[in-house]
Amino acid sequence: MLNITETQQKLAAAFGPSGQESEAAGVIAEMAKPHCDEVYTDRLGNLIAYKKGAGKAKVMFSAHMDSLGLIVTHIDEKGFLWFSNIGGISVWRIYGSAVRFQNGTRGIVFMGGKADAKDPKTADLYIDIGAKDEESARNAVFVGDVAVFDQPTFPIGDGLLASPYLDDRIACAALLAAMEGLPECENDLYFVFSSQEELGIRGAKTAAYGIDPDYGFAVDVTGTGDTPDHKPKTECKLRGGAAVKIMDASVICHPKVVAWLEEAAERENIPHQREILIGGGTDAGAIHVSRAGVYTGAISIPTRYVHNPLEVCAIGDVEACIKLVRAACNISL
């Protein structure tokens, strides 16, 4: 099986904010091609890896490859870059973080002196790329260019992994690992690396419509309740195994699919736990209402500090997720 840490490091380094996923898609495609019968990209930028089975049913797995980003809206006379957010970004989470543009230009996010320190807005932040003036800045970056978090991927503690964009590159890594050496299956398999999830699960919507699956699974990260004084109270935790989603703000997973996943995990001794995500959603929200409806579930990787420049997960939970994805390839209700 591929090395999870090395794969996440490679995927996290690939530029791919929502709407500009082509570089990330190219990296994933090269890793997927040896294990699938066909790899293609649709009009919305979804990368789809198809593995032919016996044709009993069509099963779709979707992990989004897009990331959060900061899009430049204005370059001032001193060469500072003002920006808006792509996806759900909190001012306090990105203040002081390092960022990079696709052309290699790097900078630091900082706050304007007149900002309300008690209630800062994204409009109060700027990116300092070290330009001496407006002309210098405009030679390096254009309005409309997007910056992404520029942080390393590294192991910490006892079996944990810290990285930017675990959401959702670590689930992309899990799908790639699940493909490796996958035996012949009764079902036709579609591994979707979706676009624009952070802007409202857009890619999964068109991918599900085009594939028309019988079964669908979102593979994504989920927040945990295992940090100090975490609110609201939830039971999902690191080192607890793959998380079988019950519901989130976008979907109530089909009870038969939930039961099937839990039975498969018990049967194959896969560590697992139940997940209820109070806010937010995943590609499952688009998949389950596609066409006449799809039997839909979700397999999640518990992750701390989601939507921060650095996020943390447990390698063991990723491995459990990989095993449960492989089991779900043979789902039959």
Q: Does a structural domain hold residue 314?
A: yes
Cβ–Cβ < 8 Å for 283, 171: no
Cβ–Cβ < 8 Å for 129, 81: yes
Tell the burial category of 48 from Cβ atoms under 10 Å away from its Cβ (0-12, 13-18, 19+): buried
61 plus 85 within the same structural domain: no
Domain end residue (candidates: 117, 149, 181): 149
266-317 pLDDT tens trace: 999 999 999 999 889 999 999 999 999 999 999 999 999 999 999 999 999 9
How confident is the model over 114-140, as a mean pLDDT? Answer: 89
107 plus 234 within the same structural domain: no
Domain CATH for 321: 3.40.630.10
Q: Does a structural domain hold residue 155?
A: no
Contacts of 244 (CB under 8 A, 6+ apart): 258, 261, 262, 265, 272, 273, 274, 275, 297, 298, 299, 300, 324
Q: Does a structural domain hold residue 157?
A: no
84 plus 38 within the same structural domain: no
258 plus 297 within the same structural domain: yes
Domain end residue (candidates: 100, 125, 149): 149
Mean pLDDT of the chain: 95
172 plus 228 within the same structural domain: yes
Give counts: helices (H), strands (E), the chain.
9, 17
Confidence of residue 115 (pLDDT cuts 50, 70, 90): low
Longest dimension (CA), the chain: 64
31-78 pLDDT tens trace: 999 999 999 999 999 999 999 999 999 999 999 999 999 999 999 999
Q: Does a structural domain hold residue 239?
A: yes
Q: Does a structural domain hold residue 132?
A: yes
Tokens representing 51 are 């593995």
Q: Is the pLDDT of residue 6 over 80?
A: yes
* Nearest Cα residue to 97 out of 106, 105, 88: 106
Which of 197, 275, 311, 319 is an active site residue? 197
192 plus 118 within the same structural domain: no
Domain that holds residue 291: 4-67+165-328
Known catalytic residue at 197: yes
185 plus 229 within the same structural domain: yes
Cβ density class 63-101: b for 16+ within 10 Å, e for less: bbbbbbbbbbeebeeebbbbbebbbebebebbbebebbb
- At 111 the pLDDT is 87
How many domains does the chain fold into?
Answer: 2
